Structure 1
Amino acid sequence: MTAADRVYHIIKQRILNGGYAAGSYVREAAISEELDYSRTPIREALRRLVSDGWVEAIPHHGARVVGWTQHDVEEVFELRVLLEPQVVRRAAKRIGEAQLSALSRFSEQMELLCQQDDERAVDEIAVLNNQFHAELVAAADSPRLQRLLETIVQVPVSRRSFHHYTREELLGSMQHHREIIRALQHRDGEWAAAIMRAHILAARTAQMRQKQPLTKAEVEHQCSKEFLNI
Protein backbone atom coordinates (compact mmCIF):
# COMPACT_ATOMS: atom_id res chain seq x y z
CA MET A 1 0.00 0.00 0.00
CA THR A 2 1.14 3.54 -0.70
CA ALA A 3 1.12 6.22 1.97
CA ALA A 4 -2.04 7.66 0.41
CA ASP A 5 -3.69 4.22 0.57
CA ARG A 6 -2.88 3.90 4.25
CA VAL A 7 -4.22 7.36 5.06
CA TYR A 8 -7.37 6.64 3.04
CA HIS A 9 -8.13 3.44 4.95
CA ILE A 10 -7.34 4.98 8.35
CA ILE A 11 -9.70 7.91 7.79
CA LYS A 12 -12.42 5.73 6.29
CA GLN A 13 -12.32 3.33 9.23
CA ARG A 14 -12.57 6.21 11.69
CA ILE A 15 -15.66 7.47 9.87
CA LEU A 16 -17.20 4.01 10.04
CA ASN A 17 -16.50 3.52 13.75
CA GLY A 18 -17.55 7.03 14.74
CA GLY A 19 -14.10 8.48 15.27
CA TYR A 20 -15.08 11.23 12.87
CA ALA A 21 -18.71 12.17 13.45
CA ALA A 22 -21.06 13.41 10.76
CA GLY A 23 -20.40 17.11 10.17
CA SER A 24 -16.90 17.06 11.62
CA TYR A 25 -13.85 18.15 9.64
CA VAL A 26 -10.90 15.96 8.76
CA ARG A 27 -7.90 18.29 9.10
CA GLU A 28 -4.82 17.84 6.94
CA ALA A 29 -2.51 19.34 9.55
CA ALA A 30 -3.75 17.12 12.36
CA ILE A 31 -3.48 13.96 10.24
CA SER A 32 -0.01 14.95 9.05
CA GLU A 33 1.23 15.47 12.61
CA GLU A 34 -0.41 12.32 13.98
CA LEU A 35 0.70 9.93 11.23
CA ASP A 36 3.97 11.67 10.41
CA TYR A 37 3.19 11.98 6.72
CA SER A 38 3.68 14.91 4.38
CA ARG A 39 0.63 16.78 3.12
CA THR A 40 0.87 15.23 -0.37
CA PRO A 41 -0.42 11.69 0.42
CA ILE A 42 -2.97 13.14 2.83
CA ARG A 43 -4.39 15.41 0.12
CA GLU A 44 -4.50 12.49 -2.29
CA ALA A 45 -6.34 10.38 0.28
CA LEU A 46 -8.84 13.16 0.94
CA ARG A 47 -9.48 13.58 -2.79
CA ARG A 48 -10.30 9.88 -2.98
CA LEU A 49 -12.55 10.11 0.06
CA VAL A 50 -14.44 12.99 -1.56
CA SER A 51 -14.74 11.05 -4.83
CA ASP A 52 -15.99 7.97 -2.97
CA GLY A 53 -18.56 9.94 -1.00
CA TRP A 54 -17.13 9.60 2.49
CA VAL A 55 -16.50 13.35 2.89
CA GLU A 56 -17.32 16.54 1.00
CA ALA A 57 -15.00 19.38 0.13
CA ILE A 58 -16.12 22.68 1.69
CA PRO A 59 -14.39 25.70 0.06
CA HIS A 60 -12.04 27.51 2.45
CA HIS A 61 -12.80 25.03 5.24
CA GLY A 62 -11.62 21.57 4.21
CA ALA A 63 -13.07 18.06 4.13
CA ARG A 64 -16.24 17.41 6.12
CA VAL A 65 -17.87 14.07 6.93
CA VAL A 66 -21.29 14.04 5.27
CA GLY A 67 -24.21 12.98 7.41
CA TRP A 68 -27.60 11.42 6.72
CA THR A 69 -30.34 11.41 9.33
CA GLN A 70 -32.27 8.28 10.23
CA HIS A 71 -35.27 9.81 8.48
CA ASP A 72 -33.26 10.18 5.26
CA VAL A 73 -32.29 6.52 5.38
CA GLU A 74 -35.85 5.35 6.03
CA GLU A 75 -37.17 7.40 3.13
CA VAL A 76 -34.56 6.03 0.73
CA PHE A 77 -35.44 2.46 1.68
CA GLU A 78 -39.16 3.15 1.23
CA LEU A 79 -38.48 4.30 -2.33
CA ARG A 80 -36.00 1.54 -3.09
CA VAL A 81 -38.44 -1.18 -2.10
CA LEU A 82 -40.95 0.27 -4.56
CA LEU A 83 -38.62 0.81 -7.51
CA GLU A 84 -35.76 -1.69 -7.42
CA PRO A 85 -37.89 -4.82 -7.86
CA GLN A 86 -38.94 -3.27 -11.17
CA VAL A 87 -35.29 -3.26 -12.26
CA VAL A 88 -35.03 -7.04 -12.05
CA ARG A 89 -38.59 -7.52 -13.32
CA ARG A 90 -37.59 -5.73 -16.53
CA ALA A 91 -34.19 -7.44 -16.63
CA ALA A 92 -35.84 -10.88 -16.63
CA LYS A 93 -37.35 -10.13 -20.04
CA ARG A 94 -34.24 -8.61 -21.58
CA ILE A 95 -31.10 -10.11 -20.05
CA GLY A 96 -28.65 -11.93 -22.32
CA GLU A 97 -26.44 -14.94 -21.71
CA ALA A 98 -23.30 -12.81 -21.49
CA GLN A 99 -24.91 -10.70 -18.77
CA LEU A 100 -26.03 -13.79 -16.86
CA SER A 101 -22.49 -15.16 -17.05
CA ALA A 102 -21.10 -11.89 -15.74
CA LEU A 103 -23.55 -11.93 -12.81
CA SER A 104 -22.53 -15.48 -11.93
CA ARG A 105 -18.86 -14.56 -12.10
CA PHE A 106 -19.30 -11.57 -9.79
CA SER A 107 -21.35 -13.69 -7.37
CA GLU A 108 -18.71 -16.43 -7.24
CA GLN A 109 -15.91 -13.93 -6.61
CA MET A 110 -17.86 -12.29 -3.78
CA GLU A 111 -18.54 -15.66 -2.17
CA LEU A 112 -14.85 -16.53 -2.24
CA LEU A 113 -14.02 -13.23 -0.57
CA CYS A 114 -16.62 -13.94 2.13
CA GLN A 115 -14.32 -16.73 3.31
CA GLN A 116 -11.71 -14.15 4.28
CA ASP A 117 -12.00 -12.09 7.44
CA ASP A 118 -10.36 -8.75 6.81
CA GLU A 119 -11.26 -5.23 5.80
CA ARG A 120 -9.66 -5.45 2.38
CA ALA A 121 -11.79 -8.45 1.44
CA VAL A 122 -14.91 -6.55 2.48
CA ASP A 123 -13.88 -3.60 0.32
CA GLU A 124 -13.32 -5.94 -2.64
CA ILE A 125 -16.77 -7.42 -2.11
CA ALA A 126 -18.21 -3.92 -2.32
CA VAL A 127 -16.45 -3.27 -5.64
CA LEU A 128 -17.73 -6.52 -7.12
CA ASN A 129 -21.17 -5.81 -5.72
CA ASN A 130 -21.24 -2.50 -7.57
CA GLN A 131 -20.43 -4.37 -10.78
CA PHE A 132 -23.09 -6.99 -10.10
CA HIS A 133 -25.84 -4.44 -9.62
CA ALA A 134 -24.67 -2.21 -12.44
CA GLU A 135 -25.11 -5.26 -14.69
CA LEU A 136 -28.70 -5.63 -13.48
CA VAL A 137 -29.46 -2.01 -14.22
CA ALA A 138 -27.94 -2.35 -17.69
CA ALA A 139 -30.03 -5.46 -18.33
CA ALA A 140 -33.21 -3.61 -17.33
CA ASP A 141 -32.57 -1.23 -20.25
CA SER A 142 -34.57 1.66 -18.82
CA PRO A 143 -32.79 5.04 -18.89
CA ARG A 144 -35.79 6.66 -17.20
CA LEU A 145 -35.76 4.20 -14.31
CA GLN A 146 -32.01 4.60 -13.99
CA ARG A 147 -32.26 8.40 -13.83
CA LEU A 148 -35.07 8.21 -11.30
CA LEU A 149 -33.07 5.96 -9.03
CA GLU A 150 -30.00 8.19 -9.38
CA THR A 151 -32.10 11.15 -8.21
CA ILE A 152 -33.45 9.26 -5.21
CA VAL A 153 -30.23 7.72 -3.96
CA GLN A 154 -27.98 10.73 -4.58
CA VAL A 155 -24.63 9.17 -3.75
CA PRO A 156 -21.56 8.72 -5.96
CA VAL A 157 -20.17 5.45 -7.29
CA SER A 158 -17.60 4.22 -4.80
CA ARG A 159 -16.29 1.25 -2.92
CA ARG A 160 -19.21 0.69 -0.67
CA SER A 161 -18.94 -0.84 2.74
CA PHE A 162 -20.36 -4.00 4.24
CA HIS A 163 -18.58 -3.32 7.53
CA HIS A 164 -21.77 -3.13 9.59
CA TYR A 165 -23.16 -6.49 8.48
CA THR A 166 -22.99 -9.53 10.68
CA ARG A 167 -21.51 -12.58 8.99
CA GLU A 168 -24.95 -14.14 8.78
CA GLU A 169 -26.33 -11.05 7.05
CA LEU A 170 -23.44 -10.97 4.61
CA LEU A 171 -23.92 -14.61 3.66
CA GLY A 172 -27.65 -14.01 3.34
CA SER A 173 -26.95 -11.17 0.95
CA MET A 174 -24.80 -13.47 -1.18
CA GLN A 175 -27.62 -16.04 -1.24
CA HIS A 176 -30.04 -13.37 -2.46
CA HIS A 177 -27.67 -12.67 -5.34
CA ARG A 178 -27.68 -16.37 -6.28
CA GLU A 179 -31.46 -16.61 -6.20
CA ILE A 180 -31.88 -13.47 -8.28
CA ILE A 181 -29.62 -15.05 -10.90
CA ARG A 182 -31.69 -18.25 -10.85
CA ALA A 183 -34.90 -16.27 -11.31
CA LEU A 184 -33.39 -14.38 -14.24
CA GLN A 185 -32.20 -17.63 -15.83
CA HIS A 186 -35.82 -18.81 -15.74
CA ARG A 187 -37.01 -15.45 -17.14
CA ASP A 188 -39.29 -15.14 -14.12
CA GLY A 189 -39.61 -11.44 -13.38
CA GLU A 190 -41.99 -11.84 -10.45
CA TRP A 191 -39.67 -14.30 -8.73
CA ALA A 192 -36.70 -11.96 -9.24
CA ALA A 193 -38.74 -9.00 -7.98
CA ALA A 194 -39.81 -10.89 -4.84
CA ILE A 195 -36.20 -11.75 -3.98
CA MET A 196 -35.07 -8.19 -4.64
CA ARG A 197 -37.77 -6.92 -2.29
CA ALA A 198 -36.61 -9.35 0.41
CA HIS A 199 -33.02 -8.26 -0.30
CA ILE A 200 -33.83 -4.61 0.32
CA LEU A 201 -35.95 -5.29 3.39
CA ALA A 202 -33.13 -7.36 4.90
CA ALA A 203 -30.75 -4.49 4.24
CA ARG A 204 -33.16 -2.07 5.87
CA THR A 205 -33.42 -4.25 8.98
CA ALA A 206 -29.64 -4.39 9.32
CA GLN A 207 -29.33 -0.64 8.83
CA MET A 208 -32.07 0.32 11.24
CA ARG A 209 -30.27 -1.52 14.03
CA GLN A 210 -28.14 1.58 14.30
CA LYS A 211 -29.40 3.68 17.20
CA GLN A 212 -27.57 6.93 16.50
CA PRO A 213 -27.84 9.29 13.52
CA LEU A 214 -25.87 7.73 10.68
CA THR A 215 -23.11 9.21 8.60
CA LYS A 216 -23.58 9.04 4.88
CA ALA A 217 -20.59 6.72 4.73
CA GLU A 218 -22.33 4.27 7.09
CA VAL A 219 -25.37 4.21 4.85
CA GLU A 220 -23.54 3.88 1.56
CA HIS A 221 -22.97 0.13 1.79
CA GLN A 222 -26.72 -0.22 1.26
CA CYS A 223 -27.78 2.96 -0.49
CA SER A 224 -25.40 3.32 -3.40
CA LYS A 225 -25.66 4.59 -6.91
CA GLU A 226 -25.89 1.12 -8.29
CA PHE A 227 -29.27 1.21 -6.51
CA LEU A 228 -29.27 -2.48 -5.57
CA ASN A 229 -26.44 -2.73 -3.11
CA ILE A 230 -25.73 -5.84 -1.03
Structure 2
Amino acid sequence: MAAAADNAYEILKQRVIGGTYAPGAQLKEEHLARELEISRTPIRAALKRLVDDGLATADPNRGVRAAEWTDLDIEETFDLRGLLESHGAGLAARRGGLPLADRLDDLNEQMDKAIAAGDGGPTERLQEINSQFHHAILEASGSPRLRAMLAGLIDMPIVIRSHFISTRQDKLQSLQHHRDLAAAIRAGDPELARQVMHLHLRVASHRFKRQRMEFSAAHPDGDHR
Protein backbone atom coordinates (compact mmCIF):
# COMPACT_ATOMS: atom_id res chain seq x y z
CA MET A 1 0.00 0.00 0.00
CA ALA A 2 2.82 2.38 0.87
CA ALA A 3 4.48 1.75 -2.49
CA ALA A 4 1.22 2.47 -4.32
CA ALA A 5 0.79 5.72 -2.40
CA ASP A 6 4.37 6.76 -3.14
CA ASN A 7 3.94 6.02 -6.83
CA ALA A 8 0.66 7.95 -7.00
CA TYR A 9 2.26 10.86 -5.18
CA GLU A 10 5.15 11.01 -7.65
CA ILE A 11 2.79 11.01 -10.63
CA LEU A 12 0.49 13.67 -9.20
CA LYS A 13 3.39 15.79 -7.97
CA GLN A 14 4.94 15.86 -11.43
CA ARG A 15 1.62 16.81 -12.96
CA VAL A 16 1.01 19.68 -10.55
CA ILE A 17 4.53 21.03 -10.92
CA GLY A 18 4.52 20.55 -14.66
CA GLY A 19 1.29 22.50 -15.08
CA THR A 20 -0.76 19.55 -16.35
CA TYR A 21 -3.44 20.39 -13.79
CA ALA A 22 -4.76 23.92 -14.19
CA PRO A 23 -4.50 26.14 -11.07
CA GLY A 24 -7.46 25.29 -8.87
CA ALA A 25 -8.31 22.07 -10.77
CA GLN A 26 -10.11 19.58 -8.54
CA LEU A 27 -8.23 16.34 -7.88
CA LYS A 28 -10.95 13.72 -7.42
CA GLU A 29 -10.07 10.53 -5.58
CA GLU A 30 -12.45 8.32 -7.54
CA HIS A 31 -11.34 9.58 -10.95
CA LEU A 32 -7.61 9.36 -10.11
CA ALA A 33 -7.98 5.88 -8.62
CA ARG A 34 -9.66 4.69 -11.81
CA GLU A 35 -7.10 6.43 -14.03
CA LEU A 36 -4.08 5.05 -12.14
CA GLU A 37 -5.77 1.67 -11.62
CA ILE A 38 -5.28 1.58 -7.86
CA SER A 39 -7.62 1.85 -4.87
CA ARG A 40 -8.73 5.16 -3.40
CA THR A 41 -6.72 4.67 -0.17
CA PRO A 42 -3.25 5.30 -1.70
CA ILE A 43 -4.75 8.16 -3.75
CA ARG A 44 -6.03 9.71 -0.54
CA ALA A 45 -2.57 9.41 1.04
CA ALA A 46 -0.92 10.92 -2.05
CA LEU A 47 -3.33 13.87 -2.07
CA LYS A 48 -2.61 14.51 1.61
CA ARG A 49 1.11 14.68 0.84
CA LEU A 50 0.46 17.15 -1.96
CA VAL A 51 -1.42 19.36 0.49
CA ASP A 52 1.36 19.04 3.07
CA ASP A 53 3.91 20.06 0.42
CA GLY A 54 1.94 23.16 -0.55
CA LEU A 55 1.19 21.78 -4.01
CA ALA A 56 -2.53 21.40 -3.37
CA THR A 57 -5.18 22.82 -1.07
CA ALA A 58 -7.93 21.02 0.82
CA ASP A 59 -11.30 22.52 1.65
CA PRO A 60 -14.36 20.65 3.01
CA ASN A 61 -16.58 22.38 0.48
CA ARG A 62 -14.29 22.41 -2.56
CA GLY A 63 -12.30 19.20 -2.11
CA VAL A 64 -8.61 18.89 -2.96
CA ARG A 65 -7.44 21.24 -5.69
CA ALA A 66 -4.14 21.97 -7.42
CA ALA A 67 -2.41 24.97 -5.89
CA GLU A 68 -3.28 28.15 -7.74
CA TRP A 69 0.18 29.04 -9.02
CA THR A 70 -0.22 30.66 -12.42
CA ASP A 71 2.59 31.36 -14.89
CA LEU A 72 2.32 35.02 -13.83
CA ASP A 73 2.81 34.06 -10.17
CA ILE A 74 5.92 32.07 -11.05
CA GLU A 75 7.33 34.83 -13.25
CA GLU A 76 6.78 37.43 -10.54
CA THR A 77 8.48 35.21 -7.95
CA PHE A 78 11.60 34.82 -10.10
CA ASP A 79 11.59 38.52 -11.03
CA LEU A 80 11.53 39.52 -7.37
CA ARG A 81 14.25 37.03 -6.54
CA GLY A 82 16.35 38.38 -9.42
CA LEU A 83 16.12 41.93 -8.12
CA LEU A 84 16.60 41.18 -4.43
CA GLU A 85 19.07 38.29 -4.57
CA SER A 86 21.28 40.12 -7.06
CA HIS A 87 21.54 42.96 -4.59
CA GLY A 88 22.22 40.48 -1.80
CA ALA A 89 24.97 38.79 -3.81
CA GLY A 90 26.67 42.16 -4.30
CA LEU A 91 26.54 42.84 -0.57
CA ALA A 92 27.82 39.34 0.19
CA ALA A 93 30.79 39.86 -2.15
CA ARG A 94 31.73 42.90 -0.06
CA ARG A 95 31.11 41.39 3.34
CA GLY A 96 31.38 37.59 3.11
CA GLY A 97 35.07 37.28 2.31
CA LEU A 98 36.96 34.01 2.09
CA PRO A 99 34.89 32.18 4.74
CA LEU A 100 31.76 32.60 2.61
CA ALA A 101 33.62 31.60 -0.57
CA ASP A 102 34.93 28.47 1.17
CA ARG A 103 31.41 27.60 2.37
CA LEU A 104 30.00 28.03 -1.13
CA ASP A 105 32.79 25.93 -2.65
CA ASP A 106 32.00 23.17 -0.17
CA LEU A 107 28.29 23.26 -1.06
CA ASN A 108 29.17 23.17 -4.75
CA GLU A 109 31.26 20.06 -4.21
CA GLN A 110 28.34 18.45 -2.40
CA MET A 111 26.03 19.35 -5.28
CA ASP A 112 28.49 17.97 -7.83
CA LYS A 113 28.61 14.63 -5.98
CA ALA A 114 24.82 14.51 -5.65
CA ILE A 115 24.37 15.08 -9.38
CA ALA A 116 26.96 12.39 -10.15
CA ALA A 117 25.20 9.94 -7.83
CA GLY A 118 22.51 9.09 -10.36
CA ASP A 119 20.24 10.36 -13.08
CA GLY A 120 20.37 13.96 -11.97
CA GLY A 121 21.07 12.99 -8.37
CA PRO A 122 18.66 12.58 -5.43
CA THR A 123 16.33 15.53 -5.97
CA GLU A 124 15.55 16.24 -2.32
CA ARG A 125 19.27 16.37 -1.50
CA LEU A 126 19.99 18.70 -4.41
CA GLN A 127 17.18 21.01 -3.37
CA GLU A 128 18.49 21.08 0.20
CA ILE A 129 22.01 22.00 -0.96
CA ASN A 130 20.64 24.64 -3.31
CA SER A 131 18.65 26.21 -0.50
CA GLN A 132 21.70 26.25 1.78
CA PHE A 133 23.73 27.94 -0.97
CA HIS A 134 21.26 30.76 -1.51
CA HIS A 135 20.65 31.25 2.20
CA ALA A 136 24.41 31.41 2.87
CA ILE A 137 24.71 34.32 0.44
CA LEU A 138 21.64 35.97 1.93
CA GLU A 139 22.98 35.69 5.48
CA ALA A 140 26.36 37.06 4.40
CA SER A 141 24.66 40.14 2.90
CA GLY A 142 24.31 41.43 6.45
CA SER A 143 20.91 42.99 5.71
CA PRO A 144 18.07 42.01 8.07
CA ARG A 145 15.52 43.73 5.82
CA LEU A 146 16.70 41.81 2.78
CA ARG A 147 16.59 38.55 4.72
CA ALA A 148 13.01 39.26 5.79
CA MET A 149 11.93 39.95 2.21
CA LEU A 150 13.73 37.04 0.59
CA ALA A 151 13.48 34.15 3.04
CA GLY A 152 10.00 33.14 1.90
CA LEU A 153 10.73 33.58 -1.79
CA ILE A 154 13.76 31.26 -1.77
CA ASP A 155 11.81 28.43 -0.16
CA MET A 156 8.39 28.84 -1.78
CA PRO A 157 6.93 25.38 -2.47
CA ILE A 158 6.64 25.87 -6.23
CA VAL A 159 10.26 27.05 -6.41
CA ILE A 160 11.48 24.16 -4.29
CA ARG A 161 9.56 21.58 -6.31
CA SER A 162 10.79 22.97 -9.63
CA HIS A 163 13.86 20.78 -9.01
CA PHE A 164 11.71 17.71 -9.60
CA ILE A 165 11.26 18.45 -13.31
CA SER A 166 14.76 19.70 -14.11
CA THR A 167 17.08 17.60 -16.27
CA ARG A 168 20.63 16.54 -15.46
CA GLN A 169 21.92 19.17 -17.90
CA ASP A 170 19.81 21.82 -16.14
CA LYS A 171 21.36 20.85 -12.82
CA LEU A 172 24.88 20.99 -14.22
CA GLN A 173 24.22 24.44 -15.67
CA SER A 174 22.90 25.63 -12.32
CA LEU A 175 25.99 24.22 -10.60
CA GLN A 176 28.25 26.17 -12.97
CA HIS A 177 26.40 29.37 -12.06
CA HIS A 178 26.94 28.54 -8.38
CA ARG A 179 30.65 28.07 -9.02
CA ASP A 180 30.80 31.42 -10.83
CA LEU A 181 29.09 33.07 -7.88
CA ALA A 182 31.59 31.55 -5.45
CA ALA A 183 34.44 32.80 -7.65
CA ALA A 184 32.99 36.33 -7.78
CA ILE A 185 32.66 36.39 -4.00
CA ARG A 186 36.17 35.02 -3.54
CA ALA A 187 37.42 37.83 -5.79
CA GLY A 188 35.46 40.38 -3.76
CA ASP A 189 33.74 41.66 -6.93
CA PRO A 190 30.22 42.93 -6.07
CA GLU A 191 29.24 43.84 -9.63
CA LEU A 192 30.23 40.44 -11.00
CA ALA A 193 28.35 38.70 -8.17
CA ARG A 194 25.23 40.74 -8.97
CA GLN A 195 25.45 39.94 -12.65
CA VAL A 196 25.98 36.21 -12.14
CA MET A 197 23.09 35.94 -9.66
CA HIS A 198 20.82 37.83 -12.03
CA LEU A 199 21.79 35.53 -14.91
CA HIS A 200 21.35 32.46 -12.72
CA LEU A 201 17.80 33.37 -11.76
CA ARG A 202 16.77 34.54 -15.23
CA VAL A 203 17.94 31.24 -16.69
CA ALA A 204 16.12 29.37 -13.89
CA SER A 205 12.92 31.25 -14.69
CA HIS A 206 13.06 30.49 -18.41
CA ARG A 207 14.04 26.88 -17.72
CA PHE A 208 11.14 26.33 -15.34
CA LYS A 209 8.61 27.78 -17.79
CA ARG A 210 10.01 25.56 -20.54
CA GLN A 211 9.87 22.50 -18.31
CA ARG A 212 6.25 23.15 -17.38
CA MET A 213 5.26 23.56 -21.02
CA GLU A 214 7.07 20.39 -22.07
CA PHE A 215 5.66 18.34 -19.21
CA SER A 216 2.13 19.62 -19.78
CA ALA A 217 2.38 18.84 -23.50
CA ALA A 218 3.58 15.32 -22.74
CA HIS A 219 0.74 14.72 -20.26
CA PRO A 220 -2.30 16.40 -21.86
CA ASP A 221 -4.92 14.29 -20.13
CA GLY A 222 -4.29 15.39 -16.54
CA ASP A 223 -6.55 18.47 -16.42
CA HIS A 224 -9.67 17.15 -14.70
CA ARG A 225 -11.66 20.05 -13.36
If the length of structure 1 is used for normalisation, what is the TM-score? 0.72
Q: Is the 8 A contact 1:94 1:140 kept in 2?
A: yes
Aligned to 2:67: 66
- Pick the structure with more helix per residue: 2
Matched residues, number: 213
Cα separation, partners in 2 of 1:153 and 1:60, compared to 1, 3 Å: farther
Structure-1 separation of matches of 2:58 and 2:111:
32
Structure 2, unaligned runs of 5 or more: 217-225
Q: Deviations over 1:146-193 (max 9, x none)?
A: 222357679348843334445443322110101111122222222211
- In structure 2, give the amino acid aligned to 1:146: R
Aligned to 1:51: 52
Give the 3-state SS of the residue equivalent to 2:65 in structure 1.
strand
Give the 3-state SS of the residue equivalent to 1:162 in structure 2.
helix
Structure-1 separation of matches of 2:157 and 2:210:
24
The range that moved more, 53-62 or 163-172, is: 163-172
Pairwise CA RMSD = 3.5
Q: Deviations over 1:89-144 (max 9, x none)?
A: 12223326654444223211222232355476234322221222122222223221
Cα separation, partners in 2 of 1:63 and 1:99, compared to 1, 3 Å: farther
Q: Is the 8 A contact 2:91 2:190 kept in 1?
A: yes
Q: Is the 8 A contact 2:13 2:55 kept in 1?
A: yes
Structure-2 separation of matches of 1:122 and 1:88:
25
Q: Is the 8 A contact 1:51 1:156 kept in 2?
A: no
Structure 1, unaligned runs of 5 or more: 216-230
Q: Is the 8 A contact 2:101 2:183 kept in 1?
A: no
Cα separation, partners in 2 of 1:11 and 1:188, compared to 1, 3 Å: same
Structure with larger RCO (C-alpha < 8 A, sep 6+): 2
Aligned to 2:133: 132
Q: Determine what percentage of the aligned residue pairs are the same residue.
A: 37
Aligned to 2:176: 175
If the length of structure 2 is used for normalisation, what is the TM-score? 0.74
Aligned to 1:187: 188
Q: CA deviation at 1:209?
A: 3.6
Aligned to 2:201: 200
Give the 3-state SS of the residue equivalent to 1:114 in structure 2.
helix
Aligned to 1:161: 162
- In structure 2, give the amino acid aligned to 1:181: A
Give the 3-state SS of the residue equivalent to 2:188 in structure 1.
coil
